[in-house]
Amino acid sequence: MTTTANPPPTQKPAPAAPRVRTRAGDRIFSRSTLVAGVLILLILAGVAVFLISEALPTFTADPSEIDGGEGFFSYVWPLVFGTLAAAIIALVVATPLALGIALFISHYAPRRLAQSLGYVVDLLAAIPSVVFGLWGIQWLAPQVQPAWAWLADNLGFIPIFSGQASATGRTMLTAGLVLAVMILPIITAISREVFLQTPTLHEEAALALGATRWEMIRMAVIPFGRPGIISGIMLGLGRALGETMAVAMVLSTGGFTWSMVTAGNSTIAAEIALDFPESSGLKTNTLIAAGLVLFVITLAVNMFARWIVSRRSEFSGAN
């Protein structure tokens, strides 16, 4: 007796997944964000093309025709030094103050006081640059001039404090302090918001293990917010590098000196603001070339900041 194997049961094809119909509003929003992103890249590329095309005559001109008579790089490197020096002074002064204010508002101050302080700090960002410049000239410079004179008399063996201190107090150190006040609300606001995003579970776990409030902040809050802190500092640095009016009003002189307590330094932005209205011909191309250098410095700083944030984000508390 022969047996025949039953044929395998036929499998019914799986029903096709229903097509999800996207709403018109979602399509419009998606395409709008795509257009906005592409537009930003096009604007950035357009600015770069303009700067390069207008700066080319400077690089091909006779060095004797550039200010100083020694070529463009001899002209621009003192300005680069002044730009970086003012920005570094501002960061050194503003960063500890901003982080301290942000921690006080987010973890120490009572709620009502924290709201008021946050509003006051945010209000600083709305003050125009010219007001900071007037404040630096009329009040800050005369107040700090005796301190700069003391530094020159007692620490003159250090190159940055050497020479005769300015009688007006309008020095690179003063400009750096003005910039520190200007970038303070930027770093404070970003750091405060990052600290407030720390998971409550992390903070409570640290306190439950017997940590003090400062130990909890050091072990849970700061590691979680480190990428945000770096981003805030880099945003403040970008503001300090590109600030024009306040620095031009405080310094209003060119030249070069290693000393931070004497007159004679300037920044790229201040040089462009002071000289561009009366420039023509090759002088205009030279100033645009200096702007190209500032553009490259700012772009390099932002790329470096993004690299640091991406490198640290893998080990941040958010992950």
In the chain, where are the structural domains located?
78-313
DSSP secondary structure of 237-254: HHHHHH--HHHHHHH---
Name the residue with tokens 């050091």. 218
User: Mind listing the pLDDT tens digit for each residue in 137-195?
Assistant: 889 988 988 888 888 888 888 888 888 888 888 888 898 999 999 999 999 988 888 88
Q: Is the pLDDT of residue 236 over 50?
A: yes
- Rounded to 5 degrees, φ, ψ at 279 are -90, 160
Chain mean pLDDT for the chain: 83
Strand locations in 26-65, DSSP E?
none
CA atoms within 13 A on the CB side of 189: 15
Helices first, then strands: H and E counts in the chain: 12, 0
The runs of H, that is alpha helices, within 136-221 are: 141-154, 172-196, 200-208, 213-216
Residue 112: Cβ within 10 Å count:
8
Mean pLDDT calculated for residue range 83-99:
91
Contact between 166 and 257 (Cβ < 8 Å): no
DSSP assignment, residue 160?
A: G
Mean pLDDT calculated for residue range 76-100:
90
Q: Which residues does 193 contact at the CB level (< 8 Å), separation at least 6?
A: 228
Q: Give SS3 for 162.
A: coil
Residue 240: Cβ within 10 Å count:
28
pLDDT of residue 19: 63
User: Mind listing the pLDDT tens digit for each residue in 198-224?
Assistant: 888 888 888 888 888 888 888 888 888
User: Mind listing the pLDDT tens digit for each residue in 241-287?
Assistant: 888 888 888 886 666 778 888 887 888 888 888 888 787 788 888 88
pTM: predicted TM-score of the whole model, two decimal places: 0.81
Cα separation, 109 vs 21, whole angstroms: 50
User: Mind listing the pLDDT tens digit for each residue in 48-58?
Assistant: 899 888 888 88
Q: Which residues does 118 contact at the CB level (< 8 Å), separation at least 6?
A: 105, 189, 192
Q: Is the pLDDT of residue 313 over 60?
A: no
The C-alpha R_g of the chain, in whole angstroms, comes to 28
Topology of domain 78-313, per CATH? Answer: MetI-like fold (1.10.3720)
Contact between 142 and 148 (Cβ < 8 Å): no
235 or 279, greater pLDDT: 235
